Amino acid sequence: MKIAFMFPGQGAQFVGMGADFFNKYKEARKVYEEASKIVEKDIAKMCFEGSIEDLSNTKNTQLAISVTSLAILAVLKSFGIKSSIDVGLSLGEYVALIDSQILSMEDGLKLLERRSYYMQAKAPNEKYYMLAVIGLDANKVEEICLNNKENGFAVPANYNYSGQVVVTVNEDKVEKLKQDFLNAGARKIVKLNTSGPFHTEKLIEASKCYKKDLENVTFNLKENVVIKNIDGSFYTKKDDIKKILEDHIISPVRFDKTIKTMQNEGVDTYIEIGPGKALSGFVKKECKDAKVFNVQKVEDLDLLLQELKINVGGKN
């Protein structure tokens, strides 16, 4: 069995995420407590008691999702569940880097705090939406975006799998783009729960500001452990990881290529760790025979433990 851990990105948040793990497992409580000390914010309260509006604010979302993922991850590891490969979607890549010990938890959370601040504070004063285009070839999506470039903004931001591309579009173009995609044969268009032009050139100022924070961090690069968002290949010791993470803010996420790399590496068990089920869904579309799990609630963990034949015992 070859396991890949997958960590979600922005848009997966919900009020109460991680609360059942916090209440049941000391490993999860420890992560929330340590994280809150690092960033000097009560992350547990933010996740469990805040409003969905506050939780969906970029400056809160990235920390909340990453800490929840790390807390659930700590519980999985306490049962001896380990991965051969780690991947993440957008901010989830930082959780992957922390799990692989390429990045310390302290540095990782502080970077995410700065990253989320810049992505909000340095975004243009315009309204953008992210639309998931389902059932339309990526080349066709790109063509339609190019055709709508005049007097507007529309670019692919996330290539999730072969049948889904997420497009960032300014407010005035939303309805026009939706209709163009549907007319071209798209099966469905979904507006995502996000609040900015992520992974596009519109965040170039955020990327430039973030570069300064990256310069102060030490990375312990490893071979063939974490797959990069920007091109779906593994990080290597030769990579300029600081430049990659700087560009990560303005570059499309290639999760479609990430899935192919995991397939080529012989991964047969995929475990999504954290809120939401999006990454599990992407993998299921491409890897029909693989075992795919998502663990966002305690009952999900119980099912996983049964499937992996791991004795629960009396842990709490």
> What is the SS3 assignment for 90?
coil
Evaluate whether 13 touches 275 at the Cβ level (below 8 Å): yes
Tokens 């990430």 belong to residue: 258
pLDDT at res. 78:
97
Residues 293 and 224 in one domain: yes
Active site residue 90: yes
Given the residues 36, 56, 83, 90, the one annotated as active site: 90
Active site residue 199: yes
Q: How far apart are the first and last CA of the chain?
A: 27
315 in any annotated domain: no
pLDDT at res. 194:
72
pLDDT, block means (10 residues), the chain with 316 residues: 96 94 98 98 95 91 97 98 97 98 98 96 90 96 91 91 95 92 96 83 96 96 96 97 97 97 97 96 94 98 95 64
Residues 237 and 115 in one domain: yes
89 in any annotated domain: yes
Distance CA 181, CA 198 (A): 20
Q: Which helix (H) or strand (E) holds 256?
A: helix 255-264
Question: What range does the domain containing 243 cover?
Answer: 3-123+201-307
Given the residues 36, 66, 199, 251, the one annotated as active site: 199
Evaluate whether 227 touches 87 at the Cβ level (below 8 Å): yes
**Strands of 123-268, DSSP E:** 128-134, 154-161, 164-170, 188-191, 253-254
pLDDT at res. 196:
80
Residues 93 and 133 in one domain: no
Distance CA 114, CA 137 (A): 35
pLDDT at res. 313:
65
In terms of C-beta density within 10 A (0-12 exposed, 13-18 middle, 19 or more buried), how is residue 212 classed? exposed
What's the CATH code of the domain at 246?
Answer: 3.40.366.10
pLDDT at res. 316:
54
**Strands of 259-310, DSSP E:** 269-273, 291-295
* pTM attached to this predicted model: 0.94
Distance CA 251, CA 204 (A): 10
164 in any annotated domain: yes
